[in-house]
Every structure is written in structure tokens, then in C-alpha cells.
Structure 1
Amino acid sequence: MRSLGPLVESLKGQLSSDAQILMKGDEGYVEGISRWSRAAEREAALIVYPTTPEDVSKLVLFVKEQRLDFAVAGGGHGSSGASSTQNGLSINLSKMRNVTVDPVNKSARCQGGALWSDVDTAAFAHGLAAVGGTVNHTGIGGLTLGGGFGHLTPKHGLVIDNLLEAEVVLADGRIVTCSANQEPDLFWAIRGAGIGFGVTTSFTYRLHPQPNRVWGGMLVFPREKLEAIISFANTIVTLDEENALLLLAFASPPPAFQPAVLVPVFYNGTEAEAHAYFKPLLDLEPLANTTTEMDYVEVNGMLNEPMAHGLRRNLKGAAVMFPLTYSFAAEVYTETEKFLLETPDAKHTMVIFEYIPFGKILKVGQQDTAYANRGAYGNLVFGASWESQETDTKCREWCRMMAQKTKAELERRLKDGTDEITKDGVGAYANYDGANHEAGNLVYGVNYPRLAALKKKYDPENVFSKGPNLVS
């Protein structure tokens, strides 16, 4: 490996005075390469913390000139390793987290390294809210560029459907603003395939008036209640439902770590309204019930504990048609229970069916953005979580096998017919699809040809190559 001293000196002379450069052995280096999934961590030769878009531009040109591998880290919340680099240069955006709210125009301009907790807190101070992630220590960048689901999706659509503008550093170092009126092709591309087109240094989101109090929490049930839970959950995913959602999770929660059915719930309204809506579920007498009325700013922290940093993790996603059949859900439960019992190291694993009403998602056409996963279905994510590196292969193979089973079930259900938008959906949420670098056509479906053409325009040398492949 080449000597780092000259590289560091060269960089110092180019960057802002408050930008920071770290090498292995420096204080803060270990924290700088840490990621949400420990299995996604790599030892970068250099970690650079830019503070301005101009810094990012100079870094992009620098890695090109030096022929260095590089990766961009925002929240570092993916499991694919796309935000890490082995012996390359890590561009860490965590010093770029400023959020500026415009309460008059109901929008927020957020730097690319912001977390959803930053956005939620800033917007809430003005009685507003953004469509953001369901785990608030997630970075805004990765979630947005891949599509983005949140608690407000039933009412306002995907995160990308609420993106007004973005500032992007391109492969040639240019800093451009894209929106519906400026660089519209680029704006189309980053809404679903943004990882392949540049470093997004700011996002401007549409904000929405938000009632101060909402309702949510976790319900825990024994396996015997699964059929009744599914029967109720299937009533939620209607085209006109805007206030409710639930997640159906199979896991072995502490302290007993015994397999159970977990149901995180959310209602965008008062506790009384929520109790009336969720009465059939609450009447099933859960073993545990943490639901309560809360400020909206607290909602996206409900899942922070089970999704905490510190474990090795792998996410693999697929899609399930609604209404979900009890027979398929029971099969997934049985397979999950078997895996948990056979793999004690993976006791923190969760399998989650996302019951998010899709009416607003389908208001946008499949080819109106690069995101090609709009459909009358929901995400199913297999989230293996474990501690020992020796368990890596087993956990990843199990997630892959279960995703393949789910895809086969989706294809079987699609044969029964569906709507015009769903028939072109890929049934694969890129943010849940792990290290899928080879198959851009599988992730982007009908939008792949246009994306491949735009890739040649904006990044002909494939500088941004960490995501699904767009080079034909």
C-alpha cells in the first residue's frame, strides 16, 4: 500500500480548515469506521470528514486522480457494506447535519449527513413533520435515495415523493442542484437510484402539518394468535387508509429470547381514536403492551432499541402480496423459529412484514421516478442479527434462502392478476436488498434502460459503483 503521508498533506491543503482527516491509529478512527452492522465495517486507509459541498467535490476529484476506492457514509445504516471501503478513502458526512426549516413554505433543507432524528426534532418545533424513517438513528441519505418508507407514508407517500430538491456532487466534481425544474433527468434518477449518480450533500423535503399527539407502541403475542392478527392486519392495507399502519414481526425478544409475534403499531390520531381502530387487535389480549399516546417526534424512536448499533446484521428484502395468506405467514414463522433455535448466536434476528397502506404510493406512476417498486404489496425484510463472525455465512445464506421463497410466493400470487402499476413493480426494495451489485435491471425494472442511459451522461466512468450495477 502506498505511503499515506503525502496524500494527507495534499488533502489538507485543499479542504476547509474545519474538515478532519484520520488514519488508522488516530483518536476517533475506530468510531469513524463503525457502522450500524458490524459485519459491514471495513478498515479505510483514510477517513475524511468534509464540512462543505466544496470539500466533497475536491474529495471526489482526489479519489479519481489517485485511483482510490472510496465510499460515502451518512448514517452508515445499511448492511451491504456500500458505506465502507477496505484500504480506500471514507467520505464521512457526519459533520454535515444541519437542518433548516422554512415554516412558511413548509419545507426543510437538510445536509446530507443528517439523521432522521435531526429532521424530526427541527420540524416538530414548528408543528411540522417529514416523511422519514421508522428508526430515527438512520441517515437521511441512504433511505431517501433508495425510496423511503415511514410512519407518514400512508398519508403522504414515500420519502422521494416528498423530495423537492437536492444538491449533488457529480463524478466530474460539479456541484449541481436538481429538482423538477433544474436538471430534471438527474432529479428523476436520484429518486430511487441516487447511490449511482453522485454524493448528495443536501436534501430539501416537503413538510406537513402534524398533530402534536399520536399513538403507538409494541404488542407481543403468542404464536397461537397469528391467524387472528393477520386477519385484522389485512384490513389495514386499503387504498384509502391514511392514519394507521402496523408491522408484523417474528422474533425472540429479551429477556427470555423465546420466539413470539411482535406487532409494532402506529395511529396518526388520539389514543381514543387508536383504541377504537385497533380494538380487534387489542381484544386478542397481548402478552405485553407498550402502546401510549406520544408526541410525533417520539414515534420514530420506538424501534431504536431492537435496531440498535453493535451487532452484525444482514438485511434481505422481498415483497408480499396483500392480503397476506395465513399459510405463507405460518411457513415463514416456522422457518424463523427453526433458525432461531438452531442458531443461538442469531437470537436478535427479526423478520418483519410491513403493513403500510399503499394508496398514496400508487398515486405516483412506476416510471415517474427511478424507484420501480410501487405496488399493491408490502415489504418483507429478513433481518438476521448476530455477534460472531463465524456465523456470517449461515445468517446471510438463511436470509437469501428466505427471500427467494418469498419471491416465488409473490410470482405465484401475481399470476392471479393485478393493477397496471403493480404488474411492472420489481418486488424488491433496494434499501433492503443487501449487496446486490450485479443486477441493476432486477432492482430498477422498467426504469433500468433510462437509468443506464443517464449513467453514461452523468457518470460515464462509473465512479459511483457501490450500488446496483447501472453499466450495461
Structure 2
Amino acid sequence: MTIPAPALSALRSSLTSSLIITPQDEGYTDAIRRWSDTGIKQAGVVIKPSNETDIVTALKWSQEHNIDLAVKAGGHSVSGTSSSSGGLVIDLTRLNSVTVEPSTKTATVGGGTVWKDVDEALASHNLAAVGGTVNHTGVGGLTLGGGYGWLSGMYGLTIDNLLSARVILASGEIVTASKTDNADLFWALRGAGYNFGIVVSFTFQAYEQSTPVYAGIVAFTPDKVEEVISILNGLLLDKPDPRSGAITIFARPPGAPVPMVNVLIFYNGTEEEGRTRFADLLSLDPVANMISMIPYSQVNALQNPMATYGDRKSFKGIFFNPPLSPSFAKTVLGEFTEKVQSDPDLGASAILFEFYDMEKTNKVPRSATAFASRGTTQNGIITLRWSDASKDREHRAWARGVQERYKERLDAEEKAAGAGGVPQYINYAEPGDSVVDNIYGENFDRLKDMKRKYDPKNVFRKMHPISLE
């Protein structure tokens, strides 16, 4: 796609507050930069507005001239859903304000904000909100797809704590969506929000968090994998505690010869309580222990060294119905080790399995929001990272093949357990993956009705689009 010069000139003359960047302009490379190099596309024009009026103008312009549209908040999509080949990108990063209201324990957050800004602003008032687990992720993308985080055991998903959103619809109309205003749109935004408009601000419920938390990474040699998984299964199923969570990360730390069994643990309590909670895990003679008492605002930075910008990435969601089979986990680690050892370019890759208390999340009926994967399954990720673009197809095919093989096994466990809903977390699913036939599950028909009402021309169709055909 090439934007005709007269159309581009019309856009320039109609915008009042935006930075306008084309391929000929200084700063273009930075403007199309994304978390993963696989998400980069050569946009025809990028605008960075600082007000809603310019967003409305650009949105209408793209439709008038039939220009492909993408909206970028955090830019973490590895498949390029926040990018456009030759079209228009509306980059929200200048809408990055955080306004905290201590009396109501709420935060109103601009649509281009990242979670680091939210965590730190709330911490200054001894508050915290349910965010993700990597703090340079955009608020918009994580929220519109549901949002799991370390506080989900206590407070549910990010969308369960969303009070309202200010949305620019495809028509250019600016509306508020909440339980009392445009309640049907509010329902759709919470789990399928990419399809309905541009959210320029979110208002979240926050909670008291004046004390530090017990958190950090502890690492074990590969031979401990079955013991580690058995202990985490036991904590999740036999000793549930909404203040607790863990993520196993099969990855090779700097200087290690092979991938290790790394566990990122979290306990929202005292050091004594945290040590007691994870006593069995810590008794396994870890080769590294970086757990300490830290402010909650720093917890979501713990994975940042493993989730830096740059290189090429594949991000494939997986899931399991607990307990996770220790022998299966051993097989996963073995296959992964063989893969990364065969290609040094994959050295920064990882496979993750999450262990979160889901009781609070599952108390919300699946019909209450568009989010379809409320159930007993836990989430995981196959994340490959490499630099050689010529190996894109090879590495993606390997990750997709592993994802599908794991799905066959885990589907059987899911059916045996009688679990309901969609097992795959939408934010961990790339568009086009066959791991789930219908990512919206039982809510799909209602979402199609909402799509016909709010975006009948399918303007917003980049991320898990809702087809009206």
C-alpha cells in the first residue's frame, strides 16, 4: 500500500497537535520500532497525537481514503498487529498520563501508558492495581485482552477492576463505557476490546499496598524439574492462597551451559510468611536465590532482563489443567534444551508455566464480560528469540508444532477434568494460531452483535478480529 501524496497532504493540514512521521522523516526508524523486530512493518505514516481531536481526524481520514489502520500502545505484539504495511499508525504513547485519586483508590490512565508508570504512580500513594508481569507492556493491550498479574489471586483480572473507559469509536464519536454508560460496549471491551475502538483512557480500581512483598527468582538445575513442579502443584491445589503465585521459566541464565528451572515467586505478605509458603521449594538446594522483600512497584520489573526490546520473537500460548504432570514438564524441558542447544541464536528463548490462584477470577461468570477463558486452566508461553531473519519460518514452525502437540495432550486433560470455557488466554494467542478454534467461546455471537453496532465496517480488525461473515 502507498498513500497518495494528496491524501497525505490532507492529513498533515488537518492535524493540530500530532507529531507526523513518514519514511523520509528523521525518527522514522524509532517510530516503527516494536518490542519484537518481527512486529515491525514499514508504515506509510505514523502520527503521535496529544489530543483526542487529532485521533478522530486521523481515524476518519483513514476510512475516507481506504488506508490501512493500526493503533499502537505498548507495541508488544510479535505479529505486528500494532503496525501497518504502508498504512497509518496512530501511536498513543503521548497519551501517557496517570492521575491517582487517593480518596477513592482509583487511577485514570492514558491509553498510551505502560504499566511501569502506573505501578510507580500508585506506589507513591501506597496503592497498587492489577497489572501484568512485565512493566514495559502497554496498559491498553493487556487490559483489552483480560489481564493476569500477581494481584489476580486477590482481586481478579485487570478487566475485573476496570471501572470505565473513554473510547473513540469508528464513527469518530467519543463515548464513556462503564456499567452505567454504554454497558454493552463496556462488556465487549473487557476481553475483546481490540475490536471496538481506540481507548484513550482507562479508570481502574486500586487497593492498599503499603507493605513490601516477598518476591524474586530462584534457580534449580534441570534434574530438579519434577520436584519443582510437584511442589508448585501442591501449593496451588492443596494449599491455595490468593496472596501467592509463581511462574516456572525454563531458560538459560547468563553463564549457564543449559536451560535451568527458574522459578519467579511472589507472596504478598511478610518475609516469614513467604519463607514458610515456599519452604519446600527452597529446600531443594537452589543454585541461585534472588528472593527478597521489595516494593510491589518493583515486582513487575523482575522479568524485564528476560523480556527486553529487540531481536526477533515468536510468542505461542499454551495451557494446562493442574496439576501439571512432572514427567511432562521434564519432557518439555528436554525438548526445549535440545532445540536451543542446536542453535546458539536461540539462547535467550524460554518456556513458561504460570501457577496463579484462579478462584477470584472464576467467581466472575463468563457471561459477565467478553473474556472467555475463565476456568481451571493455567497459562504458559513458548517464547523463542533469535536474530537471523532468514530463520523466521523455521523457528515459528517449530514453536507452532510444539504448541499444537502440547494442545493435543492438554486438551485431553481438560476434557477429563470437565473444565469449561476457552482454555487459551487471548493475550497469549497470536492471530492465526490454530490452538483455539474460537478464542471468544460462548460470547462470540453476542460479540458479533456488538461489532455490528459499534464497528459495522470492521475498521478495527488487527488483533483477533470478529468476522461478521
**TM-score, scaled to structure 1:** 0.96
Partner in structure 1 of residue 464 of structure 2: 468
Pairs within 5 Å for 1:171-186: 171-186=170-185
Amino acid at match of 1:275: R
The CA deviation string for residues 124-156 of structure 1, in whole angstroms up to 9 with x for no partner, is: 111100100110000000000011111111111
Pairs within 5 Å for 1:238-277: 238=237, 240-277=240-277
- Given the superposition, is the C-alpha separation of residues 176 and 117 from structure 1 closer, same or farther in structure 2, using an over 3 Å criterion? same
Partner in structure 1 of residue 426 of structure 2: 430
SS state of the match for residue 236, structure 1? Answer: helix
Partner in structure 2 of residue 75 of structure 1: 74
Partner in structure 1 of residue 124 of structure 2: 125
Distance in 2, Cα, partners of 1:281 & 1:69: 51
Partner in structure 2 of residue 155 of structure 1: 154
Q: Percent identity?
A: 39
Say whether the 8 Å CA contact 2:227–2:326 is kept in structure 1.
no
Partner in structure 2 of residue 379 of structure 1: 379
Say whether the 8 Å CA contact 2:424–2:436 is kept in structure 1.
no
Root-mean-square deviation over aligned CA pairs: 1.6
Kindly state the Cα deviation for residue 4 of structure 1 after the two structures are TM-superposed: 5.5
Distance in 1, Cα, partners of 2:3 & 2:367: 47
SS state of the match for residue 335, structure 1? Answer: helix
Say which is worse superposed, 400-409 or 219-228, in terms of deviation.
Answer: 400-409
Partner in structure 1 of residue 283 of structure 2: 283
Pairs within 5 Å for 1:333-348: 333-348=333-348
Pairs within 5 Å for 1:325-364: 325-364=325-364
Structure 1's unaligned 5+ residue stretches are: none
SS state of the match for residue 96, structure 2? Answer: coil
- Is 1:52–2:51 an aligned residue pair? yes
Kindly state the Cα deviation for residue 171 of structure 1 after the two structures are TM-superposed: 0.9
- Given the superposition, is the C-alpha separation of residues 365 and 413 from structure 1 closer, same or farther in structure 2, using an over 3 Å criterion? same
Say whether the 8 Å CA contact 1:441–1:448 is kept in structure 2.
no
- Is 1:300–2:300 an aligned residue pair? yes
Say whether the 8 Å CA contact 2:259–2:337 is kept in structure 1.
yes
Distance in 1, Cα, partners of 2:455 & 2:434: 17
- Given the superposition, is the C-alpha separation of residues 66 and 3 from structure 1 closer, same or farther in structure 2, using an over 3 Å criterion? closer
- Is 1:444–2:440 an aligned residue pair? yes
- Given the superposition, is the C-alpha separation of residues 394 and 2 from structure 1 closer, same or farther in structure 2, using an over 3 Å criterion? closer
- Given the superposition, is the C-alpha separation of residues 117 and 14 from structure 1 closer, same or farther in structure 2, using an over 3 Å criterion? same
Distance in 1, Cα, partners of 2:436 & 2:196: 13
Say whether the 8 Å CA contact 1:8–1:21 is kept in structure 2.
no
- Given the superposition, is the C-alpha separation of residues 51 and 437 from structure 1 closer, same or farther in structure 2, using an over 3 Å criterion? farther
The CA deviation string for residues 36-87 of structure 1, in whole angstroms up to 9 with x for no partner, is: 0111100101010011122211111110011111111101012121001111
Distance in 1, Cα, partners of 2:423 & 2:110: 30
Kindly state the Cα deviation for residue 184 of structure 1 after the two structures are TM-superposed: 0.8
Partner in structure 2 of residue 94 of structure 1: 93
Kindly state the Cα deviation for residue 235 of structure 1 after the two structures are TM-superposed: 2.3
Say whether the 8 Å CA contact 1:211–1:269 is kept in structure 2.
no
Distance in 2, Cα, partners of 1:436 & 1:123: 37
Distance in 2, Cα, partners of 1:143 & 1:21: 26
Kindly state the Cα deviation for residue 240 of structure 1 after the two structures are TM-superposed: 4.8
SS state of the match for residue 234, structure 1? Answer: helix
SS state of the match for residue 305, structure 2? Answer: coil
**TM-score, scaled to structure 2:** 0.96
Structure 2's unaligned 5+ residue stretches are: none
Question: How many matched pairs?
Answer: 467
Amino acid at match of 2:322: F
Amino acid at match of 1:375: G
- Is 1:21–2:17 an aligned residue pair? no
SS state of the match for residue 266, structure 1? Answer: strand
Distance in 2, Cα, partners of 1:415 & 1:362: 18
Kindly state the Cα deviation for residue 444 of structure 1 after the two structures are TM-superposed: 0.5
Distance in 1, Cα, partners of 2:424 & 2:434: 14
- Given the superposition, is the C-alpha separation of residues 438 and 15 from structure 1 closer, same or farther in structure 2, using an over 3 Å criterion? farther
SS state of the match for residue 305, structure 1? Answer: helix
Distance in 2, Cα, partners of 1:343 & 1:198: 42
Say which is worse superposed, 100-109 or 232-241, in terms of deviation.
Answer: 232-241
- Given the superposition, is the C-alpha separation of residues 83 and 438 from structure 1 closer, same or farther in structure 2, using an over 3 Å criterion? farther
Distance in 2, Cα, partners of 1:414 & 1:6: 56
Kindly state the Cα deviation for residue 417 of structure 1 after the two structures are TM-superposed: 3.2
- Is 1:401–2:397 an aligned residue pair? no
Kindly state the Cα deviation for residue 236 of structure 1 after the two structures are TM-superposed: 2.9
- Given the superposition, is the C-alpha separation of residues 243 and 314 from structure 1 closer, same or farther in structure 2, using an over 3 Å criterion? same
Kindly state the Cα deviation for residue 12 of structure 1 after the two structures are TM-superposed: 3.1
Say which is worse superposed, 269-278 or 186-195, in terms of deviation.
Answer: 269-278
